[in-house]
Structure 1
């Protein structure tokens, strides 16, 4: 379903800015190319759930005028963006993939969306997701199943499955997602695009319906690392660490069952990054990933129940039994068990911080 991309779609975020600057492309025309792709491919992929075509066309006209006048607001001016359905987009349904919220319309943009608009980006609409952001396949009981654009019948991953699928299929240049326990990284990997979960609080969560406030992040999906960086430069709070500090790789490959070709590709990527001075070695990390995952799920389910308790009582028919039962299970766990889970995750965070030392972060 991905097919070949038109030049303006293949250009991505950074390429579009260059084309706009030299006058070889105009946001109004590029928008129509993307809308045509959405019309053709979205019925099969089911990535977008709501579109703001009129608003996008107005924004594209304004962006075209700015570029023609030499007054572009940023490198994102005229960039085509999709937004996960748990992130508020003014005038569109703000559902978080939950049927009980299908009639709620956002009265203003989330902070991260507002920053995109201030940078001149064109917001196309909202994207499908796992119900409540709790899951990894984006087979939503209320809004449909998102298909992997590389192969029909295969999952796009989740919970930001619509975001990754839309980027991979060329339905938008970049998409916002959220990540609590892999919800940007998993679908990005499944769909063959770049996805980043930045450090805590790097991107404001104001106007984002949470699953787990203590674990949630807003993240970015794009078709290149450079495109991700361009978006983060406009919507994220600058990292207080030196931007030139190298990264580290936490090596957990011996704890994962990987096909030989996937393992080889990962090792080659790390070696190339080290050769370029981007990475400063690997840090072996011997941890029980399964145990930490279970602790994170407990926290997510308990905090998710607190977020949705009122609506669960008012509109129980708007929650699938699977989602509701997970939330109720989390709420029923003893406080001591929840405290233990938080302590284990905090201890692992401290351990990782010691391992990476003065490095900027880790991959």
Structure 2
């Protein structure tokens, strides 16, 4: 399902902008190629759940006219993008992956979608996700199971599984997702693409159905760090100036369980960083990652219940038993437990900031292993490493670092202070840019 890619699909965001500028490609023709791929592959991958084909065709024709007239709005003009289903796209169902919201039609775009359109992007449709953005598998009881494009029968990760899978399968050039404790970076890791969660608040949350307003971040999936950077430039507030010093390895030994394949691939990334003079030592992590993840989950369940309580009362049949139970559990927790969780998260933020210090960022694995088969036990610790960046509110980028012994993608991440800076480093350290 990964390939082969047509030249205009393989070109990605930056390559298409160059092709449009020289007149060797047209947005309306490129859109037709993507629509043909969706018709062929989406029944299996199940990444897109709703499409605005006529709106996309209108946008593509307008983009083609602008490029032909020398009036392109940005390098994103004519780029085909998909949007996670908890982000409002005017005229399409705004479901957040929850059955009870199946008939909710967005009457306006989310702020981030408006920024994409203002840059000329072609917004094609909405993408599958975990119910309510709570989970990391994307086996949705209402909207179906998203397959990993690298191997059918394996998870694409979550909660933005449709976003990661759509980019990996070449169904769109870039996609927006949301990341509460790793929900952009985990699908990017499992699907072998790049995923960036910028600084907290850098991309506005207006028009995004929240899971946890304290921890949610809108993020970007693409097939190269350069493509992520182009999208971020159009929709995110730039980060303040930050140090440009070296990277350090974040040593998660004893704090996270890593497979042998992850360990070997990460050592190769470290060697690449050292060879390029990008690395200066390692720093130990003195945080119980499992406990921190559970504190984040508590806050997500409490804040998620606040968002969905009225609908849960009105339409309990539109929530799965599992999701409803998690929300109700959160609502049952005493205030002092929530206060303790927030205190521990604040302490973790201070620790991560101190570990970065004057460095450009910290290098570590994204997940402890590759994607797993549907029906296998779901690893409880999928978000143990990724949740650090959410607690700190700092940018983090996941990038491909190789393949497992049985051919599934593996991923490393950089946590830093400047999204564009860490994307530049990810471009230098990535083992490959998909498709292979």
- Shorter-chain TM-score bucket reads over 0.9
Larger CA deviation: 137-146 vs 246-255: 246-255
| Aligned ranges 1:42-61 → 2 under 5 Å | 42-61=42-61
State the partner residue of 1:118.
Answer: 118
Which has the higher relative contact order, 1 or 2, with Cα contacts under 8 A spaced 6 or more apart? 2
**Equivalences for 1:1-363 in 2 at 5 Å?**
1-242=1-242, 244=244, 247-276=247-276, 281-362=281-362, 363=414
Q: Quickly say closer, same or farther: Cα 1:222–1:338, change in 2 above 3 A.
A: same
Give the structure with the higher percent strand: 2
Between stretches 113-122 and 353-362, larger displacement belongs to: 353-362
Residues 192-233 of structure 1 deviation map (CA, whole Å, 9 limit, x = unaligned): 111111111111111100000000000111111111111111
Task: Measure how far apart 1:165 and its partner are.
Answer: 0.4
CA distance in 1, matches of 2:245, 2:51: 40
Out of 211-220 and 353-362, give the one that drifted further. Answer: 353-362
**Equivalent pair of 1:283/1:356 in contact (CA under 8 Å):** no
Distance 1:119 1:160, change over 3 A: same
Q: 1:281 to 1:239 in 2, by over 3 A?
A: farther
Q: Distance in 2 between matches of 1:65 and 1:320?
A: 46
**CA distance in 2: counterparts of 1:80 and 1:245, whole angstroms:** 36
Q: Is the 8 A contact 1:147 1:165 kept in 2?
A: yes
SS in 2 for 1:255: coil
3-state SS of 2:153 partner: coil
TM-score scaled by length of structure 1: 0.96
The total of aligned residue pairs comes to 363
Structure 1 or 2: more helix by fraction: 1
- How far off its partner does 1:255 sit? 3.2
- CA spacing shift, 1:237–1:270, aligned 2, 3 Å: farther
SS at structure 1 position matched to 2:147: coil
2: CA distance, partners of 1:94 / 1:134 = 16
> Residue by residue, what CA displacement relative to the aligned partner does 1:100-149 show, whole Å, maximum 9, x if unpaired?
11111111111111101011100010000000000111011110111111
What's the offset of the Cα at 1:307?
Answer: 0.5
Indicate conservation of the 8 Å contact 2:255/2:285, yes or no.
no
Structure 1 residue 304: Cα displacement: 0.3
d(CA) in 1 for partners of 2:277, 2:242: 15
Distance 2:278 2:55 in 1: 40
Indicate the RMSD between aligned Cα atoms, in angstroms: 1.5
Give the direction of change, closer, same or farther, for the CA distance of 1:274–1:241 in structure 2 (3 Å limit). farther
Could you tell me how far apart the structure 1 residues matched to 2:248 and 2:81 are? 30
Secondary structure of 2:310's aligned partner: helix
Instruction: Give TM-score scaled by structure 2 length.
Output: 0.80
CA contact 1:50–1:126 (8 Å) conserved in 2: yes
